[in-house]
C-alpha cells in the first residue's frame, strides 16, 4: 500500500493553477510545490505571476508562469500545452480565478454580471475542458473554488451566487462523466478568509470585519493556510476515493443565520 503520510504528498505531480498569482490560489500553489509538485501559475498579471513563481523557486520548488485570461479558451489551451511540454502529463487542475464586487441587481450592468460569470464559471469550464486531453488517466484531479453563495442567496452578490452554483454543478457533472477514466473532480468552499482581496472588498472597514466575524460560529476568519491544506488533501492519494464532493471550510458560517448566532452567544 502506498504511504500517503510521506512528507511529499505530491512528489512527481504536475499542477495547473488558475488564479495562481495571488491570494488563495497562490497559497495553494505554494503548498503543492512544497509537497513536490511542479506548478504552472496562470493569471492575467505577469508581474504577480513572476513574484509568486520566484517565491516558489527560492524555496526550492519548480514553477513556471503563463499570462492568460481564463475567459479565452484558446489562450487557456495554449497554456496547458506549454505545461505538458515543460512538465509532462498534468495531474492536478485547480480553478481558482475569480471576480467579485458588491452591487445590487438594479445597480449591476449586464456587462458586470457577465464579467463574473465569465471569469468564474466559464473560466472553470475552459480550464477543465481544455485540460482533459492533458490530464493523467487514471489519476487526474480537478479542484474548483466555490463559495457559500452557491447555495445561499446573498444580497449584492447575484453574479457570484449564479457563477458558484454553476461551478458546483459543473464539477459534479465532471465527476460523473470523467470518473470511469479515473479522473476525480471536487470543490472547496472557503468562508471569510483573512488577507484576501475578496474580504477587502466585501468587508472594507473594521466594523464590517467584526460584523462578519460575529456571524461565524468559530468567531474568527479562516486562513489561506487552511485552504491550502484542504486542497492538498483533496489532490493527494489520501482522497483517492473522493469525487463529486463540496468541502466547506467556513468556520460554520454557512450553518447559521445572524439571529441564531445572536441568541447563542
Q: Is 71:43 a contact under the CB 8 Å cutoff? A: no
Q: For the CA atoms of the chain, what is the radius of gyration?
A: 18
The upper half-sphere exposure of residue 59, i.e. CA atoms within 13 Å in the direction of its Cβ, equals: 18
Query: Residue 247 CA to chain centroid, in angstroms?
Result: 12
114 is catalytic: no
Residue 38, C-beta contacts closer than 8 angstroms, at least 6 positions apart: 13, 14, 15, 61, 62, 63, 64, 86, 87
Residue in 13, 38, 164, 224 annotated catalytic:
164
Residue in 77, 95, 146, 236 annotated catalytic:
146
67: β partners = 43
Which residues are designated catalytic?
146, 164
Amino acid at each position: 500500500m502506498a504511504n500517503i503520510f510521506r512528507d511529499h504528498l505530491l512528489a512527481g505531480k504536475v499542477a495547473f493553477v488558475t488564479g495562481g498569482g495571488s491570494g488563495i490560489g497562490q497559497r495553494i500553489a505554494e503548498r503543492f510545490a512544497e509537497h513536490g509538485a511542479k506548478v504552472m501559475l496562470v493569471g492575467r498579471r505577469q508581474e504577480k505571476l513572476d513574484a509568486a513563481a520566484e517565491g516558489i523557486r527560492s524555496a526550492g520548488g519548480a514553477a513556471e508562469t503563463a499570462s492568460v485570461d481564463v475567459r479565452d479558451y484558446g489562450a487557456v489551451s495554449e497554456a496547458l500545452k506549454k505545461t505538458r511540454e515543460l512538465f509532462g502529463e498534468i495531474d492536478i487542475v485547480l480553478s481558482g480565478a475569480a471576480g467579485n464586487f458588491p452591487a445590487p441587481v438594479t445597480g449591476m450592468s449586464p456587462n458586470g454580471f457577465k464579467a463574473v460569470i465569465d471569469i468564474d464559471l466559464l473560466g472553470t469550464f475552459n480550464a477543465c475542458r481544455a485540460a482533459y486531453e492533458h490530464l493523467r488517466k487514471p489519476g487526474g484531479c480537478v479542484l474548483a473554488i466555490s463559495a457559500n453563495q452557491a447555495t445561499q442567496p446573498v444580497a449584492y452578490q447575484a453574479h457570484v451566487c449564479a457563477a458558484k452554483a454553476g461551478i458546483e454543478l459543473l464539477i459534479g457533472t465532471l465527476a460523473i462523466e470523467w470518473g470511469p477514466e479515473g479522473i476525480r473532480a471536487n470543490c472547496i468552499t472557503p468562508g471569510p478568509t483573512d488577507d484576501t482581496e475578496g474580504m477587502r472588498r466585501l468587508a472594507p472597514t473594521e466594523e464590517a470585519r467584526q460584523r462578519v466575524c460575529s456571524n461565524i460560529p468559530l468567531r474568527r476568519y479562516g486562513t489561506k493556510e487552511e485552504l491550502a491544506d484542504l486542497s492538498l488533501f483533496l489532490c493527494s492519494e489520501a482522497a483517492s476515493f473522493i469525487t463529486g464532493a463540496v468541502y466547506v471550510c467556513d468556520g460554520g458560517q454557512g450553518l447559521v443565520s445572524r439571529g441564531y448566532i445572536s441568541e447563542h452567544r
